[in-house]
Structure formats: structure tokens, C-alpha cells
A and B are shown apart, each in its own frame.
Chain A
Amino acid sequence: EDKVVQSPLSLVVHEGDTVTLNCSYEVTNFRSLLWYKQEKKAPTFLFMLTSSGIEKKSGRLSSILDKKELFSILNITATQTGDSAVYLCAHPLSGTYKYIFGTGTRLKVLA
């Protein structure tokens, strides 16, 4: 059965540190993998990785997809307190547009 597993569950770092968040997935027919940032309310979209776009970057955030090993990582460099949030990854189930989410990684950045 398709599933998404994120690690670590939580992480505490100091400002300026670099963090790597992991998302492993099992899916019969890969189409895309999405990363979201959730602060207090709605998850906000960060990146979508597909077979034709396995690496994305936006400012201090970047993400890569390893289709062979079935995982993705989200890197945040020079972390700031504003990066404190839950980071979620998700993918659509085979043959549908139903997205399933991992449990998320809770990141806390200390000043």
C-alpha cells in the first residue's frame, strides 16, 4: 500500500544551522512528491518534485528527489527562527488525485 514516512519526527537546532529533513515513500506509479510548511494553520506549498524536476531551490530551501531509492530530502541552510514549523511531504496515490501525507517533521529553531 502506498505510504509516506518522514524523519526525524522532531528536530531542535540553533539559528544558522543547516537541517536535512527526510521523506521516504512507497508508491506503485510515481507521479509527484510535494513539500509543505505548516506553521499555525494552513500548510503552505513549498515544492513539487516530479520525474522531470528532481531538484528544486528557493532561497535557503532546496529539495531533491531520488526516484531509485524512493526518498526526498528538504534542506534548509542558515536556519532562522521563522523556519520553525512542521514540514510535511505528500504524494498522490496511484491512479487517483488523492494525496496522502506523512506525519511531518516538527522543526524548532532557537535564537
Chain B
Amino acid sequence: DTGVSQDPRHKITKRGQNVTFRCDPISEHNRLYWYRQTLGQGPEFLTYFQNEAQLEKSRLLSDRFSAERPKGSFSTLEIQRTEQGDSAMYLCASSAGFENSPLHFGNGTRLTVT
């Protein structure tokens, strides 16, 4: 069990640029989640997958955000035309497929939009 891994750890970008983050879940986990966290707040749900199917996406998420999980393994989160308000920690988590299985988080990608 190597844990959930995210890449990159940090990303600094200029406003208007596109960024893409990657998440590799724990290998036997079939659910994968993306959360966003800002200072002083709990993680805010963005989207989740069961295998390769994206089952839910936050209504708060603009169309600039898109996530994929081809083949049901790793996932990518892309933010197009970044804005300063996108600056946050982006956390990925995975869980096993059974009822009441907890989320296990990666160390996150910290995005700074200048």
C-alpha cells in the first residue's frame, strides 16, 4: 500500500493559464475523489468517480474545471483559464468499494495563481 500520490506538490501559474494535476489512488480502491481546501476551511467536494465513471460533480464547480479517470486508475483534474480565486490546496482521496469505507487522502497539490 503506497498510499495516494499527487503530482505536482506545488504549482505556480499566471492567471489565464491552464493547469493539470494528477492523482494516483491506492491500487485496489475503485472510488476516487477531488476536494479543494482553502485556509481555515474544511475540504470542499469537487467531484468523485467510481471506476471510470464520474458520478457527481459539485454544482459550485465552474465549467473551467474538468476531471477524468480513464481506465479507472489514475485521475487528472484540469483547470482552464485559471483565476486568482482558484488558488487553493487540491486534495485527492480514494476509498475501497464497500459501504462505509473511509477516504484516504494524498498530500495535495498547492496551486498559486498570480
**Which A residues from 28 to 52 make CB contacts under 8 A with B?**
31-32, 34, 36, 41-45, 48, 50
Total inter-chain residue pairs, C-beta < 8 Å: 55
Residue on A nearest B43 in the bound complex, by CB: A101
**Contact-residue bracket for chain B:** 20 to 34
Q: Give the interface segment out of B11-19, B62-70, B80-88, B104-112.
A: B104-112
Task: From the candidates A32, A42, A96, A100, name the one contacting B91 in the complex (CB within 8 A).
Answer: A42
Q: How many Å lie between the Cα of A99 and that of B56 in the bound state?
A: 11
Main secondary structure of the interface of A (DSSP, over half): strand
Query: Are A97 and B31 touching (Cβ within 8 A)?
Result: yes
> Is A98 engaged at the interface, CB distance under 8 Å to the other chain?
yes
A31-B99, A42-B91 as given contacts; A99 in contact with B45, CB under 8 Å: yes
B103 touches A34 (CB 8 A): yes
Given A88-B43, A97-B95, A101-B43; A31-B107 close (CB under 8 Å): no
